[in-house]
Amino acid sequence: MYEQIAQNKRNSVFLIVFFTALVVVLGYLIGEAMGWGYGALILAFILAAAMALFGYFGGDKMVLAVSRAQPASRERHAQLYNITEELTIASGLPMPRLYIIPDDNAPNAFAAGRNPRHASVAVTTALLDRLNRQELQGVIAHELSHVGNYDILFATLVGILVGTVVILADFFLRSLIWGGGRRRGRSASSSGKGGAILMLIAVVLAILAPIFAKLIQLATSRQREYLADASAAKMTRYPEGLASALEKIAVSPAKLESANRGTAHFYIVNPLKVGGRKRSQLWSTHPDVAERVKRLRALASSA
């Protein structure tokens, strides 16, 4: 458990350093291409530092806003508050802030934040409607395990930093491919030295984007999810609750509308539900639900 916390903190520092270095290098390349000199370098460094700080302090709010989560009220969601308070007694963690995602078709949940004192747990309305008390308890316990393990810190930083780079890379590559033709026709002189370096940046981004996608995948490595499932079982002393919750969530075919590639790795079960079995197994951000359920049931029978 402590090992897991230390590893998550280490990975987070590594991610910030790597991200800053990448942005600075890109800034240098763009500066050289445009002839701005060191100005672009300094600008890039400030930008990277600002992004990292923003990711650390405001990343959870960003992720919640993107997911269209609204604060849960104690009056209307009394059971959700009760269940979470029970589990804070069981785990010794502070009470997280609770959010509701208004989506009546896709049951799902996630946790975000930088540490247990600044953590948020969000659930969809479909989850509250379809799960019984013990299943909901299992899901919240799973999310609280992520909070206690500092999985939320790494996942939030990945969501903000990596998500931004992936989106920028997509945008940049697309504008180069689609906009390149027009520009070439207009003036051949502009695609001199600057054009060549822009092309180089495009190639670098094209190589890096899949690596970042891989990083997102690592943020929800199978091990992490299995560990959170096991911790949840230990916390509630009732593995069957989470097992049957996972089954109910997995059975629902609906895609969660407010989730995207940058936030999918937060959720307890992949909210995007892409088809194609072999491919999804290889590229999926989440371990197989059937395998998770099997392991939980094995815990229940060994006790």
Partner 1 sequence: MWILVIILAVLIVAFVTIYNSLVRLRQRVKNAWSQIDVQLKRRYDLIPNLVETCKGYMKHERELLESVTRARAEAIAAKGGAAEQAKAENALSSTLRSLFAVVENYPDLKANQNLLALQEELTSTENRIAFARQHYNDQVMKLNTKTEVFPSNIIAGVFNFTREEFFEVDSPEERKAVKVSF
Out of 25, 199, 202, 299, the residue judged to bind partner 1 by CB under 8 A: 299
**189 in contact with partner 1 (CB under 8 A):** no
Applying the rule CB under 8 A, the residues between 257 and 276 that interact with partner 1 are none
**303 in contact with partner 1 (CB under 8 A):** yes
Structure tokens, 66: 């993107």
State the residue for tokens 């998770």. 292
Question: Which range in 11-19, 101-109, 228-236, 244-252 contacts partner 1 by CB under 8 A?
Answer: 228-236
**222 in contact with partner 1 (CB under 8 A):** no
Contacts 24+ apart (CB under 8 A), 90-98: 90/141, 90/235, 90/236, 91/141, 91/144, 91/145, 91/148, 91/235, 93/119, 93/144, 93/147, 93/148, 94/119, 96/120, 96/121, 96/144, 96/147, 97/71, 97/121, 98/71, 98/72, 98/122, 98/123
Nearest distance from C-beta of residue 145 to partner 1, angstroms:
11
**95 in contact with partner 1 (CB under 8 A):** no
Applying the rule CB under 8 A, the residues between 97 and 136 that interact with partner 1 are 133
- DSSP summary character for residue 267: B
**295 in contact with partner 1 (CB under 8 A):** no
**87 in contact with partner 1 (CB under 8 A):** yes
State the residue for tokens 């000199």. 37
Nearer to partner 1, 282 or 303 (CB): 303
SS3 213: helix
Nearest distance from C-beta of residue 125 to partner 1, angstroms:
18
Applying the rule CB under 8 A, the residues between 133 and 162 that interact with partner 1 are 133, 137
Q: Kindly give the pairing relationship between strand 109-115 and strand 70-71.
A: unpaired
257 belongs to the catalytic site:
no
Question: Which range in 74-82, 94-102, 211-219, 277-285 contacts partner 1 by CB under 8 A?
Answer: 74-82
**212 in contact with partner 1 (CB under 8 A):** no
Nearest distance from C-beta of residue 230 to partner 1, angstroms:
5
Nearest distance from C-beta of residue 221 to partner 1, angstroms:
15
Out of 231, 244, 270, 285, the residue judged to bind partner 1 by CB under 8 A: 231
Out of 113, 239, 262, 287, the residue judged to bind partner 1 by CB under 8 A: 239
The rounded distance, in Å, linking the Cα atoms of 242 and 223 is 17
**230 in contact with partner 1 (CB under 8 A):** yes
The rounded distance, in Å, linking the Cα atoms of 276 and 103 is 25
Nearer to partner 1, 202 or 300 (CB): 300
Amino acid, res. 148: G
**Which of 85, 86, 143, 225 is flagged as catalytic?**
143
The C-alpha torsion from 228 through 231 and 232 to 233, rounded to 10°, is: 130
- DSSP summary character for residue 263: T
Helices (H), the chain: 2-34, 38-66, 78-91, 125-130, 133-148, 151-157, 163-186, 193-219, 222-236, 239-251, 277-283, 289-302
Residues near partner 1, by CB under 8 A: 1, 78-79, 82-83, 85-87, 89-90, 92, 133, 137, 227, 230-231, 233-234, 237-239, 299-300, 302-303
Residues designated catalytic: 143
